[in-house]
Amino acid sequence: MVGIFSPSLITDWLVPGRNLFLTIHVLGVACFTYIVAKRLVPLLRAERDLRFDQPLTRLGRVLKFWLGQWKHPRYKFAGTLHILIFTGFILLATRAFTVLIVGVSPNFVMPGLAGRTGHIYDIITDYAATVVFLCMVVAAVRRLVFKPARYAVPPKYGKSHTADAVFLLGLIAVLMVADSLFAASLAAGHAQQGESVEALAVLTLPWMLKMVIGAMPLATLRGINVGAYLVHAITFYFLLCYRPFGIQFHVETSLFSVYFAKLERGTLKPVRWGVSDEHLDQVKSFGVKKFEDFTWKHMLDFYSCADCGRCADNCPANAAGRPLAPRFLTIKARDYAFQHYPVLGRPKEGKPLIGSVYSEDEIWSCTTCGACEEECPLLIEYIDKIVDLRRGMIDDGNVPQSLQKPLKALESRGNPYGKMEKKKADWVKAAEFQQTCSVKILDHNQSAETLFFVDSITSYDDRMQSIARSTSRILTHIGENFGILGAAEKDSGHEVRRFGEELLFQSLRDHNTDAIKASGVQRIVTADPHAYNALKHDYKDLPPVEHISQVIAREVKAGNIEFAGVQNADNVYAYHDPCYLGRHNQVYDDPRDVLDSIPGLKRVEMKRSRDRSFCCGGGGLMLFYEPKEEQRMGVLRVRMAAEAGANVIVTACPFCMVNIEDAIKVAGLEGKMSAIDLTELVDQCIARESSTEKQETVMVGG
Ligand code: SF4
Ligand code: SF4
């Protein structure tokens, strides 16, 4: 038989075409099913993870982050490339299945794609195949010639992934060429046979290939047609079965990772899903010690990582040369899963993760800033995993030397400095402050509508007490009936929890919850984003909590705060977003609105700001931990401010203040750069009518 006809009708091979292609399909699908089933084994042995709530919200996120590729344009070039490839794949899916079925069922047409609709679909997919092919070429050139730094694999993390990436790009390119050649040879053959044939879309791969092969003899065209079909089918199934062995597995798993992704920011997973705090004493082992202690969702994350390096590219710990790059937390866990749960053979016993897969320093190096999670296009989670690994270490008594003292002090005194509880409210006793402001201590004799939750650093640190006093003066200025808990307030426990000391956190939380409820307040205000995040997300059943920047912004808008103007009009200010105010709680505009409403204040934005803000070095217990690093995160941040043309860094967090003021000294920028808290700046600039309300001059950084 000479001429072009369906590959299923080939009879001049050892086996008829239909049987051959049916065998390929059955083998391909069976192999893929077997491999995926084996990949699911560790997930079945993993810890529980309750992610089956809010299906509509989750579907909405799939539409936005998976189908809509929402985060990809954050990296413009690579993001555009990915969107084009992803869209091409979605469009080509139906065409690929149609082609496969034609191998066993001649004249098969996908329902809904007959006639004119089918022709329009063919034109669209001709362009899609061409665009995907070109993207493969561009991506390969990018990988091999331009070598973006974020794809590099430092030797301590293993071998380069370039060869694997380029091999996969090559396979997809082959698939596109085979598909296009099949269409081109079919069109050319039909034309030679004098059959009516729909025109191929101009300037597409099939169109160009038809130009090249169009004049070839019919027998040659038939060979090309069948050959292209065979290559397409084999490449398709090879790719399908090869993907679960590496980064391309995300093609299959990412939809599920995005669907089951964490919905609430600023929160932490419980020690064990389904086990209440009251029953934690029944949990034999806390946290993640061995691979199977991860939850199934966290294992799914390991499979879903596309190895794009965006998380590590934005990780301040990585930038400062600490032994942590979030991308490799995932890659190492995935390698572990592949080695210990092989496709062929039985699962193998593994060693504890710390010491074999991860180092202690790696896990303690994280500031929980959230930059990695903010950046990941597939919503892969890191903080919960890192905290779970820390819980495991703490459970084994594996606490870094430098953290032992502050943790003991938190246990005995309720603050990491080991200071007396009765000194907690000493900051209100400053003589000059008392002339301008009176702060109630909420005990049995005094009550208030608003609680100012001060937290440890702002209460005890001499420098940070200025933030407490400025906050109090601002609250007084707007007529707030407020007070503090004084000795009854313990550390919020925010960092204690994120360092893995769950039980200590719970005792601090329970104490504070009782004290807050007993005070009878209606709302809570704090100037510390860590306390804000703890009270908002880690505590339960409390009155509403606000950060002071939100209060100030609202009062400025309501006309209850007016500014006299900035004290030094030559200063250029840059606002540094604290991680637990910005990324974790999405408070970006309020502090900026406040700054922009101060007459004469010149403000610039740092390159890394808002949701890409660069952590100052971490708060809470991070101040006590001495990480191995090449340079301080704070120094990098101060340099970013200098590059932006600022000479004053405004922040809204006492921990940022400690890190940034230290960094200014380390960077040798004393006298050229200063730092000030938003409350201090507002306190300086408020237009006060009454002389009794005039503040003590706070000239910090101004
Ligand atoms: S939370 Fe921050 S420090 Fe921790 S891994 Fe992510 S980006 Fe790095
Ligand atoms: S975790 Fe996300 S951002 Fe990081 S490499 Fe994987 S896919 Fe990229």
Measured from the Cα of 306, ligand 2's closest atom is: 7
CB neighbour list of residue 663: distance below 8 Å, 6 or more residues apart? 616, 617, 632, 633, 634, 635, 637, 638
Q: How far apart are the first and last CA of the chain?
A: 90
H helices, E strands: number in the chain: 28, 9
362/199: higher pLDDT: 362
Query: Percentage of the chain with pLDDT > 90?
Result: 86
CA 614 to chain centre: 14
Tokens in use for 685? 């600039």
Confidence of residue 451 (pLDDT cuts 50, 70, 90): very high
**Ligand 2 pocket check: which of 308, 315, 384, 386 to mutate, most ligand atoms within 8 Å of Cβ?**
308
Strand ranges (E), 400-522:
440-441, 450-453, 482-484
In which element (H, E) is residue 575 found?
Answer: strand 572-575
CB neighbour list of residue 351: distance below 8 Å, 6 or more residues apart? none
Is the CB of 376 inside a 6 Å radius of any atom of ligand 2?
A: yes
Which whole number is the average pLDDT over 649-671? 97
12/370: higher pLDDT: 370
Is the CB of 305 inside a 6 Å radius of any atom of ligand 2?
A: yes
Q: Which ligand is nearest to the CA of 307?
A: 2
Is the CB of 385 inside a 6 Å radius of any atom of ligand 2?
A: no
Q: State yes or no: pLDDT of 194 exceeds 90.
A: no
In which element (H, E) is residue 26 found?
Answer: helix 17-45
3-state class of 629 per DSSP? coil
Confidence of residue 5 (pLDDT cuts 50, 70, 90): confident
Model pLDDT, residue 697: 41
Q: Which ligand is nearest to the CA of 320?
A: 1
Model pLDDT, residue 331: 96
In which element (H, E) is residue 455 found?
Answer: none
Put the strands of the sheet holding 440-441 in their side by side order: 440-441, 482-484, 450-453, 523-526, 545-547
Q: State yes or no: pLDDT of 606 exceeds 90.
A: yes
**19-23, 194-198, 389-393: least confidently modelled range:** 194-198
Model pLDDT, residue 15: 79
> What separation in Å is there between the alpha carbon of 135 and the centre of ligand 2?
20
Residue type, 246: G
Q: Residues 285-297, buried b or exposed e (16+ Cβ, 10 A)?
A: ebbbbbbbbbbbb
Model pLDDT, residue 2: 55
Residue 510's Cβ-count burial label (10 Å; 0-12, 13-18, 19+) is middle
Model pLDDT, residue 628: 85
Tokens in use for 20? 């051959």
Is the CB of 308 inside a 6 Å radius of any atom of ligand 2?
A: yes
> What separation in Å is there between the alpha carbon of 78 and the centre of ligand 2?
13
Model pLDDT, residue 17: 82
- Choose which CATH entry (1.10.260, 1.10.1060, 1.10.286, 1.20.120) describes domain 280-325+334-398: 1.10.1060
Model pLDDT, residue 691: 47
Is the CB of 128 inside a 6 Å radius of any atom of ligand 2?
A: no
Q: State yes or no: pLDDT of 450 exceeds 90.
A: yes
Which whole number is the average pLDDT over 78-87? 97
**Ligand 1 pocket check: which of 366, 373, 495 to mutate, most ligand atoms within 8 Å of Cβ?**
366
Model pLDDT, residue 468: 98
Q: Where are the domains of the chain?
A: 7-259, 280-325+334-398, 404-701
Which whole number is the average pLDDT over 102-129? 92
Which whole number is the average pLDDT over 15-23? 87
Confidence of residue 370 (pLDDT cuts 50, 70, 90): very high
Model pLDDT, residue 91: 97
Q: State yes or no: pLDDT of 690 exceeds 80.
A: no
Which whole number is the average pLDDT over 413-434? 94
Confidence of residue 625 (pLDDT cuts 50, 70, 90): confident
Strand ranges (E), 286-352:
none
> What separation in Å is there between the alpha carbon of 301 and the centre of ligand 1?
16
Which whole number is the average pLDDT over 362-369? 96
In which element (H, E) is residue 574 found?
Answer: strand 572-575
**8-12, 29-33, 377-381: least confidently modelled range:** 8-12
Q: State yes or no: pLDDT of 696 exceeds 90.
A: no
Confidence of residue 196 (pLDDT cuts 50, 70, 90): confident
> What separation in Å is there between the alpha carbon of 451 and the centre of ligand 2?
41
Q: Which ligand is nearest to the CA of 614?
A: 1
Is the CB of 615 inside a 6 Å radius of any atom of ligand 2?
A: no
Strands 545-547 and 523-526: parallel
Is the CB of 370 inside a 6 Å radius of any atom of ligand 1?
A: yes
Is the CB of 373 inside a 6 Å radius of any atom of ligand 2?
A: no
Is the CB of 526 inside a 6 Å radius of any atom of ligand 1?
A: no
For atom 3 of ligand 1, which residue has the closest CA?
Answer: 366
Confidence of residue 698 (pLDDT cuts 50, 70, 90): very low
